[in-house]
Amino acid sequence: MNADGILSAFICVYLLISAVATPTLAVNLVTNHANSINASRYGLLARSPCPADLETLVDRLLQDLPSYANRVIVRSHFSPNKNTPPGYALPQIILAGRPEFEPLPLNSGDALPENASQVFITTLERQYRGGKRVEIQQYHWLFLSKTENGWELVKIVSRYGTVADVRPLFGQDSDQSEIAEAIRLWLRDCQAKP
């Protein structure tokens, strides 16, 4: 097999793995092949250390959040103790953005660290219901705290955008949600970078 054949085989295997783990990345590679592997554009390989500034940190988080969340979704739906029916289309986070940093007043009963910073973000989720594609906006209220090891997610409250959404609203706390897990994993990875 010549070098072009090996490269083609490698790309096919990469696309298959990416389509399962992160469908958005696979689509980007196919549609934007000239720019997809450019590390400086996507920041996948060469990055500066995890930012200490909250706004810079959240901007970087939002770039990677869909792929992190989609990996968490895939792992949670195909775990050995869960029966996922064949042909079931997993929900997929396709966008994350619109950060707002203006804090809201909290009730006195809310037990949060004094130094917790509030951030509001939105995500757009794609689901398939009855063979039709549905896109649902979600709102997330993050409470991040800066520790000696970097930023950590203290609490998250999430809710779906409209009453028409069939899937039930999250409870008051969404600390065990797939988005919360994705944010925790991203913060861990960000802080692990040299």
For residue 80, the model assigns a pLDDT of 61
Burial (CB count within 10 angstroms: exposed 0-12, middle 13-18, buried 19+), residue 2: exposed
What is the model's pLDDT at position 54?
A: 94
Check residue 14 and give its pLDDT.
54
Nearest residue to 122 via CA among 73, 58, 35: 58
181 backbone dihedrals φ, ψ, rounded to 5°: -65, -40
Q: Which residue has the tokens 């549905």?
A: 134
pLDDT score recorded for residue 104: 81
pLDDT of residue 37: 43
- The closest of 141, 142, 143, 149 to 116, measured between CA atoms, is 143
Of 25, 116, 16, the closest CA to residue 63 belongs to 25
Mean pLDDT by 10 residues, the chain (194 residues): 56 50 44 41 58 93 96 81 68 92 74 83 90 90 90 89 48 73 95 74
Query: What kind and span of H or E run contains 34?
Result: helix 33-36
pTM, full prediction: 0.68
